[in-house]
Structure 1
């Protein structure tokens, strides 16, 4: 896992906003999530309902509002807040935990060599 602040992102006018910190020519998929207070993302969504969530590529979390923690490999917990950019490395079991007092709004995305199917 790597962390940045929004103001550390490159001033880009071509390609995607994360191209200097995340591999992949194009943003391939993602979404916007309004997490419930105290929610832990991806709980028990692994194969057979196990509590395990990994990707073969990097994933970025852009914390747009709120605060919470990122849990990595069930042993490391890192605080996050508005303005943080978190890059999850391939193979890291990861879960975003939303604060009870100030729930997280997060933009998440993956990047890859080709555009999203809706852009082709």
Structure 2
């Protein structure tokens, strides 16, 4: 896991905002997530319902609002507004929202191709 502040990101004029820390030419998937108070992401997501969530690529989380912890391989790291967290390939990760100030995040992956909604449709 890597953690930095949004203010530490390099000013970019092309490509994507996270290109220095999230490898891949394009942001290829992602979303905006509004966690409930005390919610833990990806609980029981693993094979056979086990509590394990990993990817084969990096994933970025931008903390837009609230506080919580990013649980990575069983270790807990405090996160707050303005933090950028990069989860490395193979790291088991879960985002835990605080009870007092529930967390709002943008999460994304990058890759060699644009998101399917941004690709030209194949000619018929």
Does the TM-score normalized on the shorter chain lie above 0.5?
Answer: yes
1:22, distance to aligned residue in structure 2 (A): 1.2
Counterparts of residues 21-100 of structure 1 (less than 5 Å):
21-74=21-74, 76-100=75-99
CA distance in 2, matches of 1:48, 1:106: 27
Give the TM-score of the pair, scaled to structure 2. 0.94
Specify the alignment match of 2:11 in structure 1.
11
Shift, 1:21, TM fit: 1.0
CA distance in 2, matches of 1:48, 1:36: 25
Structure 1: 4+ residue segments shifted above 3 A? none
2:122 maps to none
Structure ID, larger Rg: 2
* SS of aligned partner of 1:7: helix
Q: Deviation string for 1:7-39 (max 9, x for gaps)?
A: 011111101000011111100000000000000
Alignment RMSD: 0.5
User: Gaps (5+ residues) in structure 1?
Assistant: none
Q: Tell me the residue number matched to 1:115.
A: 114
Shift of 1:46: 1.1
**Alignment: residue pair count:** 119
TM-score, normalising length from structure 1? Answer: 0.98
- Alpha-carbon distance between aligned partners in 2 of 1:17 and 1:10, rounded to the nearest angstrom: 8
Deviation string for 1:34-77 (max 9, x for gaps)? 00000000000112211000000000000000000000112x10
Question: Unaligned 5+ residue runs, structure 2?
Answer: 120-124
